[in-house]
Amino acid sequence: MPPKRSLIVCERPVIIAPVDEHITWMREALAEAAKAAELGDIPVGAVAVQDDVIVGRGHNRKEYDRDPTAHAEMIALRQAARMLGGWRLIGVTLYCTLEPCAMCAGAMVQARLPSLVWAADDTKAGAGGSVLDLLSHERLNHRVRVTRGVLAEEAQAQLAAFFNNLRNK
């Protein structure tokens, strides 16, 4: 059996897991992102996983629901909290196709999410280190371990195709 490989991670506390495990769950998040695109929303998807079980799923529904809080991460976090029976998401890893915004990163801190894995960095609004870093801010009472770059090319291609289609309409 080959040794387990790990991803290169951010300069903060990190979760080290086999690459294959991250890829499996990120593919689920990418499938959620495709659902957002079908609704005319920016293709971002998320899945919350605890003990190898998806406990929450979400895809962007901002345009569809006309709700500024209907981000994939927020929907997946809400589902996970309902499924697990509480707001503290102990033992949950959230997989997202895009680095979270400030709202979503704040919700992750509030939920005491232990770890987050994302695909593509968001250099315009990312709150996990690209623009600002709420996930490991020293003044906050909780820090989220981050792994980034899992299937980044696929997530970036999904986003690029969506925006190209918008421009061509």
Active site residue: 11, 21, 73, 153, which one? 73
Alpha-carbon distance 154 to 168, whole Å?
21
21-45-89 Cα angle (round to 5): 65
* Catalytic-residue membership of 73: yes
Alpha-carbon distance 51 to 125, whole Å?
31
Q: How far is CA 63 from the centre of its chain?
A: 19
Q: Is 31 helix (H, G, I), strand (E, B) or coil?
A: helix
Cite the active site residues. 73
